[in-house]
Amino acid sequence: MTTPTVTEAAIFATLRKVFGFHEFRPNQEQVVRAILDRRDVFAVMPTGGGKSLCYQLPALLLPGICMVISPLIALMKDQVDGARANGIRAAFLNSSQSPEERDQVMRDLYAHQLDLLYVAPERFSLDHFRQMLARLPISMAVIDEAHCVSEWGHDFRPDYLSLSALVTIFPHLPVAAFTATATNRVQQDILDKLALRNPLVVRASFDRPNLLYDVRFKDSVEAQIVALVRSNPGKAGIVYRTSRKSVNDTAAMLQSKGFRALPYHAGLSDGDRSGNQEAFIRDEADVIVATIAFGMGIDKSNIRYVVHADLPKSIENYYQETGRAGRDGEPAQCTLLFAQGDIPKVRFFIDAMVDEVERAKALGALSKVIAFAANSVCRRRTLLDYFGEIYPHANCNSCDICLGSREVVDCTREAQMLLSAMVRTEERFGATHIVDIVTGSVSKKIRDLGHDRLKTYGVGREHDKRYWRQLLDELLAQRVVERSEGLYPTLCLLPKAVLLLRGEERIEMVRLLEKQKALATPAVRAELAFSQELFELMRTLRKQIADEQGIPPYVVFSDRTLRDMARLSPRDAEGMLLVSGVGEVKLERYGRQFLGLIDRFCSDAR
């Protein structure tokens, strides 16, 4: 049976009426048209690039049910909430539902009353589920988070390998696979494993221009976290820590200072973990402190900052985790706190790996993260280069390097002081003790060892300990010195150190400017072009509506839509439909309340 061709008018009418957009984002139209032409698709599109629209729009225009295979239960719920808010008939089948809820979904399926059905790969692999699919009018199959197929990806899941059966089960239907992160190697591995048939392959730019990348020297980590959270009052943010203990400690510390912060890690009970996640999604908590277990199940669009207080495991992880910020396209900041002292902690776990291949892979991934953090090269350029993309501009204007918040200083003289202290103590001490010597510490250990009588004692009092620790980090990064293995690592000199001590080499260090420029992208500065007071009033109204309906606030309207609304201040339904993200369904559901608020605000402002 042939299906009638979908007209261009129908495509754009659906885009406008259902999703509230007047034009496609880059690559979306190409993917949508390919699916409507019954062609397989593989698309690598960054987070915030609008992947869900690429299959939700065709799902509305093709007769039948679009089956979406999605990895996490929480993500399914968010996606279904978002689709339903736009008037799309969507549901999910998973283990979180009661038997009665699953029965209702099945009745809706057999009555052809659904456009979208979300399932986990584990369910798809069950024989009885596949037999059920044969009795349903499936229009297309979608694989979300397709990098899970690849053993070279950052989140390989064996259950995803069963998805290679899709092209056999649905020989005449389009199969579309989407992911936000995939190197060229991972991309080819996915294509090989899924055996897609002459697919349209779209590799969108990995550039997220609304994200500002900032790497800072990790010093007093708790104070640094507090300062970052405090600089984003009332805004949603994620703080990533490596261990469950550091997650609990950091969350408790933030709570003690009055912040609405909650922990999230695999060690929490299912109830606590889902409860904390739900509170964050519903804007009842501003900060989630989490291990990397957190994030893939979150579709929250208004996260305004992400802090990595510990080293991420790989560039893919870092990109994926920072990508959870600014999904609505609005400005967001990504801060990585980095010190060379973190490296041995990560190495300890890597060295414990039994599998040599996995250990080598983890070491290679770690070295790339260190290079990203330690180099004085545009952060955006380095990230894009990792994914095989060339950044075409000399200055990205949205990372700490390009914004000029750092300066390069000659620190040869100070480096000689540190090296001399190591030589005079026979390279038998660690970083803290060497810094204590050059800064003139009066500690008992210094006096007992007689190190207060060394020629280098106190020669560096003009700088604080933070400066000296950062310089030691630089000496480690530039292979001037190295740290020994073991529980109490000591510092020893490498060949380059001898040249420095002789004055035959110089060393420079990138330092934060004393009066740091505000890290602000053009997009951040553009925020001032709307009424902040009206925006905050609309945020309050959005939260009230969301609570009444039992959905996350960003499902009502995204921050981007509220800002556009605050800028345009529409006074009638026609004007409201000009706001990006307001379609006919949302206008009907929420338009009257927001128009009333805008009208009152404008009247009071006169």
539-583 pLDDT, tens per residue? 999 999 999 998 889 999 999 899 999 989 999 999 999 999 999
d(CA 74, CA 83): 14
Report CA 368 to chain centroid distance, whole Å: 18
d(CA 210, CA 57): 25
Q: Dump pLDDT digits (tens) for 159-203.
A: 788 888 899 999 999 999 999 888 888 899 999 999 999 999 999
What residue ranges define each of the domains in the chain, with the CATH number in brackets?
A: 8-203 (3.40.50.300), 211-404 (3.40.50.300), 409-512 (1.10.10.10), 530-605 (1.10.150.80)
Q: Work out the mean pLDDT of the chain and round it to a whole number.
A: 88
Q: Are 138 and 67 in contact (CB under 8 A)?
A: yes
pLDDT score, position 3: 56
**Tally of CB atoms within 10 A around 364:** 10
3-state secondary structure of 45: coil
d(CA 426, CA 327): 53
Q: Dump pLDDT digits (tens) for 208-223.
A: 999 999 999 888 899 9
The letter for the amino acid at 128 is H
Q: Are 172 and 295 in contact (CB under 8 A)?
A: no
- What value, to the nearest 5°, has the Cα angle with vertex 21 and ends 19 and 22? 140
Confidence of residue 527 (pLDDT cuts 50, 70, 90): very low
Strand partners, 305: 237, 333
Mean pLDDT of 121-125: 87
pLDDT score, position 96: 83
Which of 32-41, 270-279, 395-404 holds the top average pLDDT?
Answer: 32-41
pTM above 0.85, yes or no: no
- What value, to the nearest 5°, has the Cα angle with vertex 418 and ends 416 and 422? 110
Name the percent of the chain lying above pLDDT 70. 94
Residue 178: its H or E element? strand 175-179
Two tokens at 557?
Answer: 């309207």
Confidence of residue 606 (pLDDT cuts 50, 70, 90): low
Two tokens at 206?
Answer: 């990995």
Longest dimension (CA), the chain: 93
pLDDT score, position 405: 64
pLDDT score, position 522: 44
Instruction: Concatenate the DSSP letters of all residues of 417-485 into one string.
Output: HHHHHHHHTTT-S-HHHHHHHHHT---HHHHHTTGGGSTTTTTTTTS-HHHHHHHHHHHHHTTSEEEPS
What are the C-alpha distances in Å from 567 to residues 17, 529, 558, 593? 21, 7, 14, 17
d(CA 558, CA 328): 7
What are the C-alpha distances in Å from 479 to residues 20, 348, 404, 476? 55, 20, 26, 5
**Tally of CB atoms within 10 A around 354:** 6
Indicate if the pLDDT at residue 1 is higher than 80: no
pLDDT score, position 13: 94
pLDDT score, position 456: 93
CA dihedral sign of residues 528, 529, 530, 531: positive
d(CA 168, CA 118): 20
pLDDT score, position 150: 84
Q: Map tokens 């200072």 to a residue.
A: 257
- What value, to the nearest 5°, has the Cα angle with vertex 140 and ends 135 and 146? 120
pLDDT score, position 183: 86
Two tokens at 204?
Answer: 């969108």
pLDDT score, position 526: 44
d(CA 32, CA 41): 9
Q: Are 77 and 69 in contact (CB under 8 A)?
A: no
Two tokens at 474?
Answer: 């630089």
pLDDT score, position 354: 87
pLDDT score, position 528: 45
Q: Are 410 and 508 in contact (CB under 8 A)?
A: yes
d(CA 102, CA 32): 30
54-68, 141-155, 408-422: which has the minimum mean pLDDT?
141-155
Q: How many CA atoms lie within 13 A of 381 on its CB side?
A: 13
pLDDT score, position 518: 46
Confidence of residue 60 (pLDDT cuts 50, 70, 90): very high
Indicate if the pLDDT at residue 537 is higher than 50: yes
pLDDT score, position 517: 44
What phi and psi, each to the nearest 5 degrees, are found at residue 247?
-65, -50
Residue 508: its H or E element? strand 508-512
Q: Are 42 and 177 in contact (CB under 8 A)?
A: yes
**Crossing angle, helix 532-549 and helix 584-605, to 10 degrees?**
140
User: 476: burial class by Cβ within 10 Å (0-12, 13-18, 19+)?
Assistant: buried
145-159, 298-312, 315-329: which has the minimum mean pLDDT?
145-159
Nearest CA-CA partner of 316 in 363, 241, 383, 361? 383
pLDDT score, position 293: 58
Contacts of residue 220, Cβ cutoff 8 Å, sequence gap at least 6: none
pLDDT score, position 406: 66
Indicate if the pLDDT at residue 516 is higher than 70: no
d(CA 87, CA 76): 16
Q: Map tokens 């990230």 to a residue.
A: 383
Phi-psi region of 415 (alpha: psi -120 to 50; beta: other; left: phi over 0): alpha
Mean pLDDT of 515-538: 61
233-247, 357-371, 374-388, 510-524: which has the minimum mean pLDDT?
510-524
Q: Dump pLDDT digits (tens) for 16-43.
A: 999 999 999 989 999 999 999 999 999 9
Report CA 338 to chain centroid distance, whole Å: 17
pLDDT score, position 605: 65
Nearest CA-CA partner of 278 in 98, 464, 96, 146? 96
Q: Are 473 and 217 in contact (CB under 8 A)?
A: yes
Nearest CA-CA partner of 361 in 244, 186, 215, 496? 186
Residue 406: its H or E element? strand 406-410
Phi-psi region of 450 (alpha: psi -120 to 50; beta: other; left: phi over 0): left
Nearest CA-CA partner of 473 in 337, 382, 364, 335? 337
d(CA 155, CA 190): 13
Indicate if the pLDDT at residue 248 is higher than 80: yes
Indicate if the pLDDT at residue 519 is higher than 60: no
Q: Are 267 and 297 in contact (CB under 8 A)?
A: no
User: 453: burial class by Cβ within 10 Å (0-12, 13-18, 19+)?
Assistant: exposed
Contacts of residue 167, Cβ cutoff 8 Å, sequence gap at least 6: 40, 175, 194, 195, 196, 197
